[in-house]
């Protein structure tokens, strides 16, 4: 029989109501053998006691149910965001608070580069655009000859210098949407949306999609997860060609790779029956650490980008309604085809009209064929009202709510995008609880930083960046939030029988914490220290 | 690059297959981002030595247009370089956003937005609250409008459709077609060398008629003022569907190329390569009408 390791801890929060807390957890063959006191565990036979967590709190490894592999790869570029962030290697990048600080950081980064490298930065915050906008002259001061590109935090804007502009022959009097012009009629360096950004990105080799594909990106992604206590993460959209799947398998198989990775197939880049066949084929390639077979379907855009599909009365500031990525009629077909074949779907819906259309499609599919084995998930599901939560309950559909939005974009939603009434009910965790809708909360990293305890803090406190309380009613308790980032998220990935709680038979995947989230106080939840993780009984200390 | 827009079921794929099937066509690369029931005929693509690529829509919040990036970079890096990029836009895509790629990218020239409308189902689609804005955007941004399934719809409905189209888009020519069939030179315009000019002697013009369309050409090596040319092209009636010309510009040493696709006009320097026949002049295609040639003769006479 294989050896038993027993970890002692100051406290173990199991998420198993039959035994909510324990002082010891025994691990055999990578799985939880038992929890309880040392005396109770001793009955299982000889063991090795590991006291390294004796002063720490052990929780089930956190589950990030919606993020993107790019969250690792993006760090090859220089970070110029407003908030402090830590890169995959643990380096703290303090937020830059003024335009001058942005330029200073760019100058420092510029000096490190080889003669032929372009300088690419990311995370530039629109808050810097209040007084005056960053333009090519600012960046020409950093370097007149080296191409420079600053990607804004929303990934829909790019500011470049003159050297970059000339690469794409961007000259005066171009009458192209998205190429902003200065007072002299020449491009001022600001480029809006992919069409205008593309010629420069192509010539500088800035391929955001590739950022999620290389070996280094996958490794860095694992590091990003490890730093925030995540042991299972879902990469929410991927084309998953065979060579990428093979690479993912090789990397995740490594005993030093600290997470279980789920990767979802893009469901709208081929006809419905091809998506079905590919999803079923991928499902068969799943391993203990790589989960495949679920499909992502994108219906609308984003609320902050004014591209979400809203019902009446639409945008608060009168902006036109958003965009569809798939026609409602086509969604009906796709959802029915996949449901019938037993493929789990994660449907991106931000606006309430997109939620309505997705729920209608699921309703039709379930009338045709009930599949009680499948839990389909509405991803983001930000604007759902209570009637829609009731419908989710009736249909047996889960929601993965974008709680980080409350902090990062809540002020904007209240003032500009959807107005007070609907901003107060955004990402409605309490409504999900009221009606018994299974739910999780997520970061959508790199859109917002991955850190489940921060996401939980958002769901519990609902404070915006300016400190406003956005929707008191929808706040949930610390216990409920901890549930959402463990078992709740595991359920949305069809993995709650394997991970999400510390319970006999499940994987020994733990988050090792320096403080006790149950007692640190709701307002401090985001400040809980993290030592690292344990995956299948193996320790992964943050380096 | 041409963007083919139009709502689901309007017959875009049938048209694409039809265009690919035409024997004398250019090397076409098709970028597809609509996945209806009808696939692009893979055999046709192989036969034409072209290719199709998937133009996957990304998540507007999380994949940041990365799908578009990938499709365009693959198409632009493709060897051998295709003559023409045909984008079959999704039924819910805003064609203008896609066309912007060609406007911004130096290696691409926009050959126009062609929007296909289904005379049978147009009104139902348009009345769907969830789709009305996008249908309107597809029509208003079109340089050429195709009204398809005219054999299946009642004349009365065809007239109503045409009237609505004209209301939303006052200037683009409306071409009525059946079975998604349209000849390649109307859709793509002339090839870069304007071969048709070789058959036309200097300072003469010719025209031909087929059932629905007329063709016209004039060879000229006179110097032409670009601004005046743009004016002239702008003022041609919608019945003149396409004009293409290679000409000497007043005060410039290099040759210039002009093309008009419906309401879209582009005048830019001719990039020299071996396929240029050496002939300068203009060709045009329009819907058949008694004064077709007179209009063009008069317009181009005023340039000389
Ligand atoms: Zn996402
Ligand atoms: Zn998304």
Q: Tell me the C-alpha distance between A37 and A6, whole Å.
A: 10
What's chain A's length in residues?
543
- Distance, in Å, from the CA atom of B279 to the CA atom of B195, rounded to the nearest integer, reads 8
Instruction: Identify the pLDDT of residue B52.
Output: 54
Residue of B nearest to A208 (CA): B66
Confidence at residue B250, expressed as pLDDT on a 0 to 100 scale = 87
- On whether any CB of chain B is under 8 Å from the CB of A314, the answer is no
- In angstroms, the CA A448 to CA A213 distance is 20
Alpha-helical (H) ranges within A36-161 are 38-42, 70-73, 99-112, 136-142
A 10 A CB-CB count for A198 gives 25
Does B61 contact A271 at a Cβ distance shorter than 8 Å? no
Lowest mean pLDDT among A369-373, A393-397, B233-237: B233-237
Tell me whether B23 touches chain A (CB under 8 Å): no
Tokens of A148: 């420079």
Q: What is the rounded average pLDDT of the residues A509-527?
A: 98
Residue contact B65–A194, C-beta within 8 A: yes
Alpha-carbon distance of B244 to B189, in angstroms, equals 7
Overall average pLDDT of the A366-374 stretch? 97
The partner residue sitting opposite A196, judged by closest CB among B37, B91, B104, is B104
For chain B, say whether A158 makes contact (Cβ under 8 Å).
Answer: no
- pLDDT value at position B272? 63
Q: Determine whether the interchain pair A327/B131 forms a contact, defined as Cβ–Cβ distance below 8 Å.
A: yes
Pairing of strands B144-148, B51-54: unpaired
A449 vs B contacts (CB less than 8 Å): none
Residue A367: exposure state from Cβ atoms within 10 A (0-12, 13-18, ≥19): exposed
Provide the pLDDT for residue B47.
38
Residues from chain B contacting residue A198 (CB–CB below 8 Å): 68-69, 72-73, 101, 104-105
> Quick one: pLDDT at residue A342?
98
Residue of chain B whose Cα is closest to the Cα of A267: B56
Chain B closest CA to A416's CA: distance in Å?
Answer: 18
Instruction: Determine whether the interchain pair A207/B66 forms a contact, defined as Cβ–Cβ distance below 8 Å.
Output: yes
- Write the CA distances from A497 to A7, A16, B10, integer angstroms: 22, 12, 47
Q: Which residues of B touch A305 (CB under 8 A)?
A: 60-61
- Gap between the Cα atoms of A319 and A331, Å rounded: 25
Range in A3-12, A41-50, A117-126 with the lowest mean pLDDT: A117-126
Helical H runs in B7-61?
12-21, 42-47
A389 touches chain B (CB under 8 A): no
DSSP A474: G
In this complex, do A444 and B61 lie within 8 Å of one another by their Cβ atoms?
yes
Q: Do A271 and B76 touch (CB under 8 A)?
A: no
Mutate to test the interface with A, among B39, B61, B65 (most CBs of A within 10 A): B61
- Coil, strand or helix at A298: strand
Residue of B54, B62, B96 lying closest to A236 (CB–CB) = B62
Q: Which tokens in the block code for residue A513? A: 């914490």
Please give, rounded to a whole number of angstroms, the shortest distance from the CA of A56 to a CA of chain B: 35
**Taking the domains of chain B in order of start, what are their residue ranges?**
2-187, 191-301
Three-state SS annotation for B139-192: HHCCCEEEEECCCCCCHHHHHHHHHHHHHHCCCCCEEECCCCCCCHHHHHCCCC
Q: Per DSSP, what are the bridge partners of residue A530?
A: A513
Distance in angstroms (rounded) separating the CA atoms of residues A476 and A457: 10
Residue A73, φ and ψ in degrees, nearest 5: -65, -30
Q: Which ligand is nearest to the CA of A234?
A: 1
| Mutation for testing the B interface, residue in A151, A194, A382 having most B CBs under 10 Å | A194
Q: ipTM higher than 0.85?
A: no
Angle at CA B213, nearest 5°, toward B211 and B216? 125
Q: How far is residue A489 from each of residues A188, A223, A495, A540, measured CA to CA in Å?
A: 44, 20, 9, 21
pLDDT at res. A459: 98
Q: pLDDT tens across A333-345, in order?
A: 999 999 999 999 9
What pLDDT is stored for residue B178 in this prediction?
85
Edge-to-edge order in the sheet of strand A179-181: A78-79, A119-124, A148-152, A157-160, A187-192, A179-181
Question: Which residues from chain B sit within 8 angstroms of residue A202, using beta carbons?
Answer: 69, 72-73, 76, 105
State the Cα–Cα distance between residues B112 and A82, nearest whole angstrom.
42
Check whether A150 has a pLDDT greater than 80.
Answer: yes
For chain B, say whether A354 makes contact (Cβ under 8 Å): no
Check CB contact of A330 with chain B, cutoff 8 Å: yes
Region A14-20: mean pLDDT is: 97
Rounded distance from Cα A303 to ligand 2 centre (Å) = 11
Interfacial A residues in 207-246 facing B (CB < 8 Å): 207-209, 236-237, 239
State the Cα–Cα distance between residues A354 and A308, nearest whole angstrom: 8
Ligand nearest to the CA of A308: 2
Whether residues A323 and B92 touch (CB distance < 8 A) is answered with yes
* The token pair that represents A280 in the structure block: 């079923």
DSSP B240-281: EEEEEEEEEETT-SSEEEEEEETTEEEEEEPPP-TT--S--E
B103 touches chain A (CB under 8 A): yes
- Provide CATH code, domain B191-301: 3.30.1220.10
Can you name the residues that pair with B177 across neighbouring β-strands?
none
What is the rounded distance in angstroms from the CA atom of residue B281 to the CA atom of residue B221? 7
Cβ within 8 Å, pair B36-A325 = no
B97/A contact by beta carbon, under 8 A: yes
pLDDT at B270: 79
In this complex, the residue of A208, A300, A305 whose CB is nearest that of residue B66 is A208
Per-residue pLDDT of chain B (304 residues; tens, 9 = 90+): 899 998 877 888 888 888 877 756 667 888 876 665 455 555 444 334 445 555 444 333 344 456 678 778 888 888 778 888 888 888 888 889 889 989 999 999 898 999 999 888 888 888 888 888 889 999 999 999 999 888 888 888 899 999 999 999 998 999 988 887 888 878 887 665 565 655 554 445 555 545 678 888 888 888 899 889 999 999 998 888 888 888 888 888 888 888 888 888 888 887 765 456 677 888 888 888 888 889 988 888 888 7
Q: Using a CB-CB distance cutoff of 8 angstroms, which residues of chain A are in contact with residue B68?
A: 194-195, 198
d(CA A314, CA A333): 27
Instruction: Tell me if A327 and B90 make a contact (CB, 8 A cut-off).
Output: yes
Rounded-to-integer distance, Cα A451 and Cα A458, Å: 11
| Cβ neighbours of B8 in A, within 8 Å | 327, 329-330
Residues of A in contact with B128 (CB under 8 A): 328
B238 Cα distance to chain centroid: 14
**With an 8 Å Cβ cutoff, is B216 touching chain A?**
no
User: What's CA A188's distance to the chain center, in Å?
Assistant: 33
* Bigger pLDDT: B67 vs A500: A500
User: Could you tell me the sign of the dihedral formed by the alpha carbons of B152, B157, B163, B165, in that order?
Assistant: negative
Q: How far is A53 from chain B (nearest CA, A)?
A: 37
Q: Which residues of B touch A444 (CB under 8 A)?
A: 61-62
Is a pLDDT exceeding 50 seen at residue A460?
A: yes
| Bridge pairing between strands B205-209 and B213-219 | antiparallel
CB within 8 Å of B284: residues ≥ 6 apart? B215, B216, B217, B240, B242, B243, B244, B296
Q: What is the mean pLDDT of residues A355-373?
A: 97
SS3 call for A401: strand
Mean of pLDDT values over A266-274: 88
Cβ of residue B106 closer than 8 Å to a chain A Cβ:
yes
Chains A, B: CB contacts under 8 A, how many? 149
Residues 6 or more apart from A307 whose CB is under 8 A from it? A300, A301, A322, A323, B60, B61
CA dihedral A82, A87, A91, A94 (to 10 degrees): 0
Q: In angstroms, rounded to a whole number, what is the distance separating the alpha carbons of residues A299 and B267?
A: 38
Nearest by CB: A155 against B64, B97, B104: B64
Q: Which residues contact A37 (CB under 8 A, 6 or more apart)?
A: A22, A23, A24
Q: If we measure between CA atoms, which residue out of B236, B235, B259 comes closest to residue B247?
A: B259
3-state class (DSSP) for residue B29 = strand
Backbone angle region of A273, left / alpha / beta, with phi > 0 → left and psi within -120 to 50 → alpha: alpha
**Residue A382 and residue A423: Cα distance in Å, rounded?**
9
Query: Any chain A CB within 8 A of the CB of B219?
Result: no
Residues 6+ apart with CB under 8 A from A452: A62, A63, A64, A228, A229, A230, A441, A443, A485
Partners of B61 on chain A (C-beta within 8 Å) are 301-302, 304-305, 307, 348, 350, 380, 444, 447
Asked if A273 reaches chain B (Cβ–Cβ under 8 Å), the answer is no
Q: Which two tokens stand for residue A300?
A: 């609308």
Mean pLDDT of chain A: 95
Query: Residues 6 or more apart from A517 whose CB is under 8 A from it?
Result: A13, A57, A59, A453, A456, A478, A482, A525, A528
Residue among B69, B92, B134 whose CB faces A201 most closely: B69
Which residues are CB-contacts of A188 (< 8 A; sequence separation ≥ 6)? A133, A135, A136, A180, A181, A182
CA–CA dist A419, A430 (Å, integer):
20
At A41-73, the pLDDT tens digits run: 999 999 999 999 999 999 999 999 999 999 999
Q: How long is chain B?
A: 304
Residue A301 and residue B130: Cβ atoms within 8 Å? no
How many other C-beta atoms lie within 10 A of the C-beta of residue A420?
12
CB contact B59 to A (< 8 Å): yes
Q: Which CATH superfamily is domain B2-187 in?
A: P-loop containing nucleotide triphosphate hydrolases (3.40.50.300)
Q: Please check the confidence at residue A373 and state whether its pLDDT lies above 70.
A: yes
Q: Does A199 touch chain B (CB under 8 A)?
A: yes
CB contacts, 8 Å: A330 with chain B: 8, 35-36, 91
Domains of chain A in sequence order: 72-204 (3.10.310.70), 213-499 (3.20.20.140)
Between A65-79, A118-132, A374-388, B131-145, the lowest mean confidence (pLDDT) is in A118-132
Residue B121, helix vs strand vs coil: coil
Residue A537's pLDDT is what? 98
Which residue of B104, B113, B129, B140 is the best one to mutate when testing the A interface, meaning the one whose CB has the most A CBs within 10 A?
B104
């Amino acid at each position: 029989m294989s050896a038993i390791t027993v970890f002692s801890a100051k406290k173990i929060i199991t998420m198993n109501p039959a035994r909510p807390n324990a002082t010891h957890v025994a691990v055999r063959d990578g799985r939880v053998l038992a929890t309880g006191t040392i005396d109770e565990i001793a009955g299982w036979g000889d063991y090795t006691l590991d006291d390294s967590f004796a002063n720490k709190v052990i929780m089930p490894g956190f589950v990030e149910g919606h993020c993107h592999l790019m969250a690792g790869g993006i760090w090859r570029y220089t970070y110029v965001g407003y908030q402090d962030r830590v890169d995959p290697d643990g380096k703290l990048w303090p937020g830059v608070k003024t335009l001058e600080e942005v330029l200073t950081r760019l100058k420092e980064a510029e000096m490190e580069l080889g003669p032929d490298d372009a300088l690419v930065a990311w995370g530039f915050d629109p808050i810097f655009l209040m007084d005056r906008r960053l333009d090519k002259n600012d960046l020409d001061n950093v370097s007149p000859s080296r191409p420079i590109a600053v990607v804004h935090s929303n990934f829909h804007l790019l500011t470049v210098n003159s050297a970059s502009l000339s690469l794409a022959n961007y000259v005066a009097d171009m009458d192209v949407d998205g190429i902003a012009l200065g007072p002299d009629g020449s491009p001022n360096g600001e480029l809006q949306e992919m069409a205008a950004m593309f010629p420069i990105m192509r010539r500088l080799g800035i391929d955001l999609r590739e950022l999620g594909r290389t070996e280094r990106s996958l490794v860095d992604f694992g590091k990003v997860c490890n730093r925030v206590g995540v042991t299972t993460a879902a990469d929410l959209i991927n084309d998953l060609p065979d060579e990428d799947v093979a690479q993912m398998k090789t990397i995740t198989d490594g005993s030093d790779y600290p997470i279980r990775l789920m990767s979802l197939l893009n469901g709208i880049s081929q006809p419905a029956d091809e998506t079905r066949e590919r999803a079923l084929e991928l499902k068969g390639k799943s391993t203990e650490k790589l989960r495949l077979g679920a499909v992502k379907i994108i219906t609308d855009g984003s609320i902050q980008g004014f591209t979400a599909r809203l019902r009446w009365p639409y945008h608060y500031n009168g902006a036109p309604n958003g965009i569809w990525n798939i026609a409602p009629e086509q969604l009906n077909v796709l959802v029915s085809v996949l449901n019938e074949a037993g493929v789990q779907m994660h449907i991106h819906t931000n606006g309430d009209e997109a939620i309505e259309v997705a729920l209608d499609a699921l309703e039709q599919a379930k009338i045709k064929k009930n599949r009680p084995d499948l839990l389909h998930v509405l991803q983001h599901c930000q604007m759902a009202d209570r009637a829609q939560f009731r419908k989710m309950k009736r249909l047996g559909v889960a929601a993965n709510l974008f709680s980080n939005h409350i902090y990062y974009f809540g002020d904007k939603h209240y003032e500009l995008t959807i107005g007070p009434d609907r901003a107060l009910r955004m990402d409605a965790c309490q409504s999900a609880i009221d009606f018994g809708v299974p739910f999780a909360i997520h970061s959508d990293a790199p859109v917002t930083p991955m850190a489940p305890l921060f996401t939980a803090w958002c769901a519990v406190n609902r404070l915006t960046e300016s400190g406003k309380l956005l929707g008191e009613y929808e706040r949930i308790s610390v216990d409920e939030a901890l549930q959402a980032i463990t078992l709740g998220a595991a359920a949305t990935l069809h993995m709650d029988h394997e991970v999400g709680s510390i319970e006999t038979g499940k994987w020994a995947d733990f988050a090792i914490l320096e403080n006790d989230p149950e007692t640190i106080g709701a307002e401090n939840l985001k400040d809980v220290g993290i030592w690292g993780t344990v995956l299948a009984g193996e320790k992964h200390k943050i380096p | 690059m041409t963007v083919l827009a139009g709502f689901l079921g309007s017959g875009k794929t049938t048209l694409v297959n039809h265009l690919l099937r035409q024997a004398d066509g250019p090397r076409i690369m098709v970028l597809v981002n609509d996945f209806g029931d009808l696939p692009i005929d893979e055999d046709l693509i192989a036969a034409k030595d072209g290719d199709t690529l998937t133009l996957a829509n990304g998540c507007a919040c999380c994949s940041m247009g990365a799908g578009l990036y990938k499709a365009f970079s693959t198409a632009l890096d493709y060897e051998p370089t295709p003559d023409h990029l045909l984008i079959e836009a999704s039924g819910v895509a805003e064609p203008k956003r896609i066309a912007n790629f060609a406007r911004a990218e130096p290696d691409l020239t926009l050959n126009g937005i062609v929007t296909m409308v289904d005379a049978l189902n147009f009104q139902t689609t348009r009345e769907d609250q969830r789709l009305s804005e996008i249908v309107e955007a597809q029509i208003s941004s079109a340089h050429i409008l195709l009204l398809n399934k005219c054999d299946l719809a009642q004349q009365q409905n065809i007239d109503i459709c045409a009237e609505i189209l004209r209301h939303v888009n006052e200037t683009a020519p409306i071409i009525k077609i059946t079975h998604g069939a349209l000849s390649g030179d109307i859709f793509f315009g002339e090839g870069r060398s304007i071969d048709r000019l070789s058959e036309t002697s200097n300072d003469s013009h010719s025209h031909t008629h087929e059932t629905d369309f007329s063709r016209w050409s004039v060879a000229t090596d006179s110097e032409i003022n670009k601004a005046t040319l743009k004016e002239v092209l702008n003022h041609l009636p919608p019945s003149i569907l396409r004009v293409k010309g290679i000409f000497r510009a007043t005060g410039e040493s290099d040759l210039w190329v002009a093309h008009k696709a419906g309401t879209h006009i582009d005048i830019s320097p001719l990039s020299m390569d071996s396929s240029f026949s050496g002939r300068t002049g203009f060709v045009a295609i329009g819907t058949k009408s008694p004064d077709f040639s007179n209009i063009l003769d008069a317009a181009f006479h005023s340039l000389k």
